[in-house]
Structure 1
Amino acid sequence: MTKELVINMTSHETRVALLESGHIAELYIERRRERGIVGNIYKGKVIRVLPGMQAAFVDIGLEKAAFLYVADVLAEMEAVEQFVEGRSQHAEPEDGHEDEQPPLPPIEDLLQEGQELLVQVAKEPIGTKGARITSHISLPGRHLVYMPTVDHIGISRRIEDEEEKDRLRGLVEEIRPAGTGFIVRTAAEGKSSEELRSDMEFLVGLWEDIDKRREHHGAPCLIHSDLDLTSKVLRDTLTEDVNRIVVDNREEHDKIVRFLATFMPNLRYAIDFYEGDEPIFDAFGLEVEISRALGRKVWLKSGGYIIIEQTEALIAIDVNTGRFVGKHNLEDTILKTNLEAVREIAFQLRLRNLGGLVIIDFIDMEREAHREKVHAALEEVLRQDKAKTNILKISELGLVEMTRKRVRESIGRTLCEPCPYCEGKGYIKSRITTAYEIFRELQREIRQLPGYRVTLLCHPDIADLLSDEEHEGIEEIERRFQKQIAIHSRPNFHLEQYEILVG
């Protein structure tokens, strides 16, 4: 599989696309006015402690207060330290391991209102929620993630060779500062002691600088900003199987060359400066793919399709046979459609960066063997996803419940905003419903209005409906209440908006 990084940079926006076999697999977007804050380190002030939620709100200088859960509060307690062993918000999602969670102390024993503490953003503000923060700082490098507050060594789960795991653990144990923690990243596989030491020295020096800055600044205050988007993607995504990097900005091109020479000197990549007249994303056919990633319906090659709905609570995905009728029997047709949908669902989750709770409604399968085959296929394709996933068995109704780790906003919510007309509902009242609502409102209000003449102001489509197909309803009200109703259209009215006036 050939992989490429295509980078489009302007004065207001940076977009980085990871291509696999010529098709976009992951998309990262950073806008100058909306730059992401995951990885940033702040000196914050506790503004409210919530014992009932085992959490606290912390002012870090953003519009919304950040949310700090008890497990993310740094304390010199063995239980808390055990809880966070192996955790790194900014390592690759598969890095580290999970332990059984011990009991945690009450939040009110750890934090008080007005208290200042150093925290790091683990999740962007999403929707109406503020940023999720942690006081367990983690500083990612190319090969290692430094955790100055945790005494632990973790190894990426993607490194499968046990001898290599032992070698890397021994190297890190030998050279790490006492009492500190490190996660060995996938990129460290096969690396020498000198390469790991260089990464470690840089990260330890960075932490010392952060610690000094904390002492000289009051809360709330930004202490350390994570890398810009391009550098972050290069650090976290770039591997030996990426064949080429193409960028359309000369300054960014030169910066990438310097970055790779400094942090990845042993790797050799083709770094091309794109000079074509056509915009770079158009030249690679990416704009069309991005537009398709914003749609609800995704067609499958067989003629079936999936529907993706993103709600506040969960992501709902529905699988349908569509135009696909199959060649043998119904069960085989359903199985083939579900298996094809599995690959597309995994692709769309990754491309759209959908996370949280995901419910997949596969087409009902009567045979248990078919359900197991679809479930195994879903597990297999999701192993390629760097974001952590957890999948439950397919129910008899054909439903799969799964979770996918969410750190940043989805592509849909990054590129789109709620429709101002329907207020994000995705639908409005029909013209007939609005017309009949007007009839009921007229009957309630008209007897209380003085005079003989009543004026109704409404949207032009509703005015046409009331004057034509539904004129009998208006005439009936006029006869009943002995009033004359004059209908006037207002082009600037919402379709559901209307006003009843005297005269």
Structure 2
Amino acid sequence: RIPKDEERARLKEIMKRLRRPGYGYIVRTVSEGVKEEDLRSDVEFLNVLWQDALKKREELPAPSLLHSDLTLTFRVVRDLFTKKVERLLIDSKEEYEAVKDFVHRVLPEQTNRIHFYDKEESLFDHLGIEMEISRALNRKVWLKSGGHIVVDHTEAMTVIDVNTGRFVGKRDQEETILRNNLEAVKEIAYQIKLRGIGGIIIVDFIDMEREKNRERVYQALVDAMAGDKARTRISRVSDLGLVEISRERVREDLLRTMSEPCHYCEGRGYTKSPTTVAYEVFREIRRIGRLSDEQKIVVCAHPGVAGLLQDEEHQGIEDLEREYGVKIIVKADLTLHLEQYDIVVL
């Protein structure tokens, strides 16, 4: 629901001007703040679809399918191929012809921006798309100055941390921090939109002492997010250098679309260290306690843990053998997870 009466009135007036006789339109909440020319494009697009359906109704025998949802290619053209786009490159001749025909009917003035890409080098390599995808999936994104931002996803929110890295000033440290934060703002806005990050986003800028500098960073962030199609609210920079961004979830973010939780660490993002597991083994052997002279204890563990028990932590194994009067044999097992181990009494 659009809460502001003025915005509802504005949209109603626009649609009255754009409405064709005998037609009706439903203006959804995503239209809030949208310019008239964008709404006009949507109306023209819907009219083309409706005319196609009417034409098929007259030409096709019953029963026949008159309309189906657009394919991914046409959804991209519909949603993203605006007047701001200088070129649309397509490397499939069939898709190129279909898109060109589609755009000619819907947005004829933009037909000359569609180009067929026929070079030997793949389109992704030619435009550096693979590199951008790789950057969009990494936690750390480097800035040109040598600083970097770190993007971490949690269940409740996304946290973005700004760091100076090698970017250190020679004179005014506050000015250096301001330049670093302003550079980070552009990359943060780009990464948020590229990755499709939605929900609550907390940005931890480098602390700035001067209020006017915090205001400059805030205004730069507002300007950088101004062209975002998703509805966004941005709080001012706090005394701690934190900014809260609330961004509408318009689609699943890139990380969840192109990846899945690590099966090895079960999505935690870390595993226990070999040393931690080695000491768990020691405690487990102590729980077994003293055995008869003929019995032995065989420890099967991941090679990383087994190597540690046989080398750096070998003294711990010898101490247990003396304490409990038992022979302990350590074996490496490639099939075991780093955190797994088997202790067998023979």
**TM range, smaller chain:** 0.7 to 0.9
Among 275, 294, 315, the alignment partner of 2:118 is 275
Distance 1:471 1:204, change over 3 A: same
- Percent identical pairs in the alignment equals 45
Cα shift at 1:309: 0.8
1:487 alignment partner in structure 2: 330
Provide the rounded CA distance (Å) in 2 between the counterparts of 1:350 and 1:318: 17
Which has the larger share of strand?
Answer: 1
Match of 1:170 in 2: 16
Q: Which has the higher Rg, Structure 1 or Structure 2?
A: 2
Q: Is the 8 A contact 2:151 2:159 kept in 1?
A: yes
Matched, 1:418 2:267: no
* 1:373-416 deviations in Å (ceiling 9; x for gaps): 11111111110211111111211111111111112222122121
* CA apart distance, 1:312: 2.0
1:302-340 C-alpha deviation (Å, 9 max, x unpaired): 111111112222111000111011232111111111111
- By relative contact order (CA 8 Å, sep 6+), the higher-ranking structure is 1
Aligned match of 2:313: 470
Task: Summarize deviations over 1:195-235 as a string: whole Å, max 9, x none.
Answer: 9578458459979x9xxxxxxxxxxxxxx853111111111
User: Do the aligned residues in 2 keep the contact of 1:296 with 1:307 (CA within 8 Å)?
Assistant: yes
Q: Secondary structure at the match of 1:378?
A: helix
TM-score where L is the length of structure 1: 0.60
Matches within 5 A, 1:380-459: 380-447=223-290, 452-459=295-302
1:318 maps to a residue whose letter is: D
Q: Deviations over 1:27-73 (max 9, x none)?
A: xxxxxxxxxxxxxxxxxxxxxxxxxxxxxxxxxxxxxxxxxxxxxxx
Q: Does 1:245 align with 2:150?
A: no
Computed over aligned residues only, the root mean square deviation of the Cα atoms, in angstroms, reads 3.1
C-alpha spacing 1:488/1:380, structure 2 compared with 1 (3 Å): same
Residue 134 (structure 2) aligns with: 291
CA contact (8 A) 2:298 2:330 kept: yes
Aligned-partner residue type, residue 175 of structure 1: P
Query: Normalization by structure 2: what TM-score?
Result: 0.86
Partner residue in 2 for 1:181: 26
Equivalent residue in structure 2 for 1:254, among 76, 80, 97: 97
Gaps of 5+ in 2: 57-66
For residue 214 of structure 1, what is the aligned residue in structure 2? Answer: none
CA contact (8 A) 1:175 1:197 kept: no
Structure 1 residues 198 and 401: CA distance shift in structure 2, 3 A: closer
Alpha-carbon offset, residue 98 of structure 1:
3.2
1: CA distance between counterparts of 2:188 and 2:231? 15
The 8 Å contact of residues 153 and 169 in structure 1, kept in 2 or not, is answered as no
Instruction: Work out the CA distance in 2 between the residues paired with 1:357 and 1:376.
Output: 19
1:308 aligned residue: 151
Q: For residue 500 of structure 1, what is the aligned residue in structure 2?
A: 343
> Counterpart of 1:493 in structure 2: which amino acid?
L
SS in structure 2 opposite 1:298? Answer: strand
Instruction: Quickly say closer, same or farther: Cα 1:190–1:405, change in 2 above 3 A.
Output: closer
**CA gap 1:491/1:385 in 2 versus in 1, 3 angstroms:** same
- Preserved contact between residue 202 and residue 245 of structure 2 (Cα < 8 Å): yes
Count of aligned pairs between the two proteins: 331
- Between the aligned partners of 1:409 and 1:190, the Cα distance in structure 2 is 25
State the secondary structure of the residue aligned to 1:401: strand
**Matching of residue 264 in structure 1 with residue 113 in structure 2:** no
Which deviations, in whole Å up to 9, do the C-alpha atoms of 1:128-166 show, x marking residues without a partner? xxxxxxxxxxxxxxxxxxxxxxxx8763xxxxxxxxx95
Structure 1 residues 449 and 402: CA distance shift in structure 2, 3 A? farther
